[in-house]
Amino acid sequence: MLTLVRHGQTQANRSGLLLGRADPPLCAQGVEQAAVLARALPRPARLVSSPLTRARQTAEMFGVPVEVDERWIEMDYGTLDGCPSTALDAAGWRAWRDDPAHVPAGGESVAAVGERVRAACADLAADAASDDVVVVSHVSPIKAAIAWALGVGDEVAWRMWVEDAAVCRIDTSGSTPRLLAFNDLSAHAAALQPLR
């Protein structure tokens, strides 16, 4: 099973800022989210992480060796990194959403993220077919991995929403990948249940 985990919350996420290559740590809630995920998910045979601090902090909660893979880093938002979404006008958002090859403000295109993530998924598929492989990453790479699993183009990225500390599962054991879960927050719901 290929399990994709979005990192826990940061203060920038909580504030609704565009967060790409900027490297803030998890906030207190994000640390708790990461701990819940580490308790709830099976111990992976392989654990892969983006190089950014928020992803590595989340991955380290699992207590197994972490492989850092640059291909799982968040999209580069260029000059928009750390800005509110209102920093880009309606025409700028339209151009970005309508064209996967569009590069916003010196950053990275959705298509470029898709290309690197499809290669990363293909490299993990065989191991994930027989063991649990967990990847801790970010919104844009996770969306790209879902597009890979579904066999669709990068243009679907803007039709998805991925929550902080959400889990997605892709079965790679067949002739084509199958999406089994998307934006799953059940581990957090279970952690909030009172003990009986």
Residue entry with tokens 């928020």: 54
Q: Percent helix, strand and coil across the chain, each rounded to 5?
A: 45, 15, 40
Domain residue ranges in the chain:
2-189
Report the range of poorest mean pLDDT among 43-47, 74-78, 147-151, 190-194. Answer: 190-194
For residue range 16-35, what is the model confidence (pLDDT) as tens digits? 999 999 999 999 999 999 99
Q: Which listed CATH number (3.40.50.1240, 3.30.465.10, 3.40.50.740, 3.30.230.10) goes with 2-189? A: 3.40.50.1240
Residue 194 has pLDDT above 60, yes or no: no
Instruction: Tell me what pLDDT residue 195 has.
Output: 45
Whole-angstrom Cα distance, residue 99 to residue 154? Answer: 9
H or E, element range at 147: helix 139-150
Mean pLDDT of 148-175: 97
Instruction: Tell me what pLDDT residue 65 has.
Output: 98
What pTM value is reported for the model?
A: 0.95
